[in-house]
Amino acid sequence: MQELPAPNCGQCGLRLEDVGGERILATAAGLWVRPTRDSEGYLRWFCQKCSGVVCHACGSIRIPLGSDILHDDGTISHAALLPIGNYCSNPACANAPRPS
């Protein structure tokens, strides 16, 4: 049985390489994608932009805190919801990790 992620986001159709970040199945805000297989047997997922897992300040891809993530090999893991402020992937953003 095929258990690999679909090549594209189930909503916008972009590939993960084009969007960045992780494949999202569920978010801390309550979005939940049923991990069904598409017509070719691949698992469906949403990109971080379609699932709203982006920085609230600049809209860039962020660390998917509290989200369920689908990995390349079809396994699913849950990112802990941690009270950290530095989660943005945009180095110019106020929420990006600061070099110490």
Please give the residue ranges that form the binding site for Zn ion (CB under 5 A). 9, 11-12, 47, 50, 55, 57-58, 60, 88, 90, 93, 95
Taking the complex as a whole, how short is the minimal distance between the CB of residue 92 and Zn ion, in angstroms? 8
CA pair distance 24, 5, nearest whole angstrom: 11
Least distance in angstroms from the C-beta of 52 to Zn ion: 10
Closest CB to Zn ion among residues 41, 91:
91
Closest CB to Zn ion among 4 and 58? 58
Buried b (16+ CB within 10 A) or exposed e, 82-97: eeeeebbbbeebebbe
* Nearest-angstrom CA–CA distance, 9 and 4: 13
> From the CB of 44, what's the least distance to Zn ion, in Å?
11
The whole-angstrom separation of Cα 91 and Cα 98 is: 9
Place of tokens 């809209």: 59
Whichever of 47 and 63 has its CB closer to Zn ion, that residue is 47
Please state the closest distance from residue 90 (CB atom) to Zn ion, in A. 5
